[in-house]
């Protein structure tokens, strides 16, 4: 398979090769590992469908004004969350209460033919038609018939919904050279959406199946531990054997839980101090709250690059506060630079000024109308002599002289609250900690599917809903949890750390 795939890639021009995945996390990994495929040809299935509608139709979930209108009329019964981006985070649409749009999305993804709840469907479809709008699932329902590609690679295929499978099989059937589905039935964790690992394998004769011979991520000890765990599924999985990568790795246990964030943070600090990345994973988002609060108080930078829409997991992106502070710092430093030409260019950068000016109070800093003048200046560069005229006498000199302390003490009240976290990072760890990509990732197991880190800290806790599901459907519930925690374990490149449960509902890792 590997030889055939390499030959297909060599025969095809880059722009005729496409790679897509169910989750943004897996698409990100694909983009990072392959330089033969143009970045524009790599993404989620949604993002490839998005192209035919970009600029032609209003996508309701990302149009704040239209969504505000919907929520004003129907939000008390069927609220719909605003998405601040294109559907790269497609798996996000399935989260939340299973009512209204979420239920309708699941029914359409399963291709069940049911229209439930009927009242919502009628109101939603009429609202879209009236406003010439579509939703994310509409993009799949009206996917292009052909990507006009030579090679189509589909990752995370075990989690595709029936609707997504229909789309990729349509695309793959028209691929000129090769159609490759990559997946692992052991990692199927979206069965409630209609995903079925059997769908990936059912139509393939044995001679068309290829198995990964070696893991590019798992070292020996983590591989052995995860393999023993997933074999609890017995005959309810596709048997497979693959070798670990040539590193020993480690599986360790700790005597603390998610409710003891100080111990967690000490561990995380040791990992990041060694220059490594670390994931703190739980089965449900609410379980991470103590850890997140403690990291904010200590000024530790964290994120979740696979679920950027979640502001609690990506606080530096909320309002882009970190970038605004960095823009101010760049201006302040270039003002004192020996590079006269470079400094002049930076000082007259409209973007650098406009990123942070709105955060600062006007009184005693700007002349009347000066703040508005700076904010509304066009995209072309703004001459420095015009900038100076926007400030009160000596205010701009004071700003350049004092730097970041000046910015912090002159923030508006609202902005001061929003920037407390990035300023804490700055004070505790310096400006470089704001510039760097955080080495700490927090999130649910579902959110990081397709991603990886050097160290994974895995909590065994279960929600009450998961425990109830096991009671109601023991075999399916337990099998789902085995697959879910297998996904969590196999995110680790070097070390897997098991911590203690913090409630009576947990899996015995």
| Phi, psi dihedrals of residue 387, rounded to the nearest 5° | -60, -50
Domain 226-314+440-498: CATH superfamily, name plus number: P-loop containing nucleotide triphosphate hydrolases (3.40.50.300)
CA atoms within 13 A on the CB side of 504: 2
Residues 449 and 156: beta-carbon distance below 8 Å: yes
3-state SS, 138-203, equals HHHHCCCCCCCCCEEEEECHHHCCHHHHHHHHHHHHCCCCEEEECCCHHHCCCHHHCCCHHHHHCC
131 Cβ contact list (under 8 Å, min separation 6): 58, 60, 66
Which residues pair with residue 58 across a beta bridge? 133
Chain-centre distance for alpha carbon 429: 25
Tokens of 213: 């011979």
pLDDT given at position 86: 44
Polymer length of the chain: 509
Which residues pair with residue 280 across a beta bridge? 442, 457
Tokens of 327: 């823009």
Q: Please give the model's pTM, rounded to 2 decimal places.
A: 0.83
Domains 2-51+143-210 and 226-314+440-498 share a fold: yes
Residues 29 and 452: beta-carbon distance below 8 Å: yes
Which residues pair with residue 181 across a beta bridge? 154
422 Cβ contact list (under 8 Å, min separation 6): 316, 321, 322, 325, 434
Q: How far apart are CA 492 and CA 416, in angstroms?
A: 37
pLDDT digit of tens for each residue in the chain (509 aa)?
A: 444 555 666 666 678 889 888 776 666 666 566 567 787 888 889 888 887 777 778 889 888 899 999 999 999 989 888 765 544 433 433 344 456 888 888 889 999 877 666 899 999 999 999 999 999 999 999 999 999 999 999 988 899 999 999 999 999 999 999 998 888 989 998 887 888 877 766 666 777 778 888 999 999 999 999 999 999 999 888 888 899 999 999 999 999 999 999 999 999 999 999 999 999 999 999 999 999 999 999 999 999 998 887 889 999 987 788 999 999 998 888 776 666 566 667 778 888 899 999 999 999 999 999 999 999 998 888 888 898 899 998 998 899 899 999 999 999 999 999 999 999 999 999 999 999 999 999 999 999 988 999 999 999 999 988 888 888 888 888 999 999 999 999 999 999 999 999 999 999 98
Give the number of other Cβ atoms within 10 Å of residue 426's Cβ.
Answer: 21
H or E stretch at 67: helix 64-74
Q: How far apart are CA 197 and CA 209, in angstroms?
A: 14
- Output the DSSP codes for 261-307: HHHHHHHHHHHHHTT--EEEEESSGGGGHHHHHHHHHHT--EE-TT-
Residues 30 and 21: beta-carbon distance below 8 Å: yes
Tokens of 508: 């015995």
Angle at 504 between CA 500 and CA 507, to 5 degrees: 60
252 three-state secondary structure: strand
- Output the DSSP codes for 71-107: HHHHTTTS-----SSSGGGGGGGG-S-SSTHHHHHHH
Q: How far apart are CA 164 and CA 361, in angstroms?
A: 50
H or E stretch at 493: strand 492-498
Exposed e or buried b per residue across 23-53, where buried means at least 16 C-beta atoms within 10 angstroms of its C-beta:
bbbbbbbbbeeeeebeeebbbbbbbbbbeee
- Comparing CA positions, the residue from 236, 239, 229 lying closest to residue 209 is 239
Domain map of the chain by residue range? 2-51+143-210, 58-141, 226-314+440-498, 319-433
pLDDT given at position 307: 86
Q: How far apart are CA 181 and CA 198, in angstroms?
A: 13
Q: Are strands 492-498 and 250-253 parallel, antiparallel or unpaired?
A: parallel
Which residues pair with residue 151 across a beta bridge? 17, 178
pLDDT given at position 268: 97
- Output the DSSP codes for 25-57: HHHHHHHHH-SSS-GGGEEEHHHHHHTTTTTTS
pLDDT given at position 3: 44
Chain-centre distance for alpha carbon 204: 32
Cα Rg of the chain, angstroms: 25
- Give the right CATH number for 2-51+143-210 from 3.40.50.10190, 3.40.50.300, 3.30.360.10, 3.40.50.11740: 3.40.50.300
pLDDT given at position 403: 92
Chain-centre distance for alpha carbon 43: 12
- Comparing CA positions, the residue from 23, 62, 60 lying closest to residue 45 is 23
pLDDT given at position 425: 96
């Amino acid at each position: 398979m590997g030889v055939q795939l390499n030959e297909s890639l060599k025969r095809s021009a880059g722009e005729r090769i496409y790679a897509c995945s169910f989750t943004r996390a897996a698409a990100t990994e694909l983009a990072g590992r392959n330089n033969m495929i143009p970045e524009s040809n790599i993404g989620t299935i949604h993002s490839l469908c998005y192209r035919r509608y970009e600029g032609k139709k209003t996508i309701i979930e990302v149009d704040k004004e239209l969504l505000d209108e919907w929520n004003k009329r129907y939000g008390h019964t069927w609220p719909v969350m605003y998405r601040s981006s294109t559907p790269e985070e497609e798996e996000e649409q399935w989260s939340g209460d299973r009512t209204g749009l979420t239920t309708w999305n699941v029914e359409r993804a399963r291709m069940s033919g049911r229209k439930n709840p009927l009242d919502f469907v009628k109101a939603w479809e009429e609202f879209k038609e009236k406003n010439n709008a579509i939703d994310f699932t509409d993009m799949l329902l009206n996917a292009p018939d052909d990507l006009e590609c030579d090679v189509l690679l589909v990752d995370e295929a075990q989690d595709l919904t029936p609707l997504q499978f229909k789309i990729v099989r349509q695309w793959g059937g028209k691929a000129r050279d090769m159609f490759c589905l990559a997946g692992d039935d052991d990692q199927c964790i979206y069965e409630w959406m209609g995903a079925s690992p059997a769908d990936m394998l059912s139509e393939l004769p044995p001679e068309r199946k290829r198995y990964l011979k070696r893991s590019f991520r798992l070292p020996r000890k983590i591989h052995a531990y995860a393999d023993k765990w997933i074999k609890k599924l017995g005959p309810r999985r596709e048997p497979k054997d693959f070798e670990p990568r040539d590193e020993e790795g480690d599986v360790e246990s700790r005597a603390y839980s998610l409710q003891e964030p100080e111990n967690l943070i000490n561990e995380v600090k040791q990992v990041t101090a060694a220059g490594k990345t670390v994931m703190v994973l739980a089965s449900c988002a609410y379980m991470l709250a103590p850890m997140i609060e403690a990291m904010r108080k200590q000024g530790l930078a964290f994120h979740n690059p696979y679920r950027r829409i979640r502001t609690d997991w990506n606080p530096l992106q909320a309002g882009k506060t970190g970038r605004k502070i960095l823009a101010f710092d760049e201006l302040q430093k270039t003002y004192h630079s020996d590079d006269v030409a470079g400094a002049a260019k930076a000082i007259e950068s409209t973007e650098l000024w406009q990123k942070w000016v709105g955060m600062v109070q006007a009184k005693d800093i700007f002349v009347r109308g000066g703040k508005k003048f700076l904010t509304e200046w066009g995209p072309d560069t703004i001459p420095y002599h015009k900038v100076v005229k926007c400030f009160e006498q000596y205010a701009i000199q004071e700003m350049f002289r004092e730097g970041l302390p000046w910015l912090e003490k002159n923030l508006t009240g609202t902005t001061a609250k929003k920037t407390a976290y990035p300023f804490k990072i700055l004070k505790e760890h310096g400006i470089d900690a704001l510039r760097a990509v955080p080495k700490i990732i927090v999130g649910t197991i579902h959110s990081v599917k397709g991603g990886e880190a050097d160290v994974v800290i895995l909590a065994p806790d279960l929600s009450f809903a998961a425990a109830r599901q096991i009671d109601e459907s023991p075999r399916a519930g337990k099998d789902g949890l085995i697959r879910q925690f297998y996904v969590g374990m196999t995110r680790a490149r070097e070390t897997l750390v098991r911590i203690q449960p913090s409630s009576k509902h947990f899996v015995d890792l």
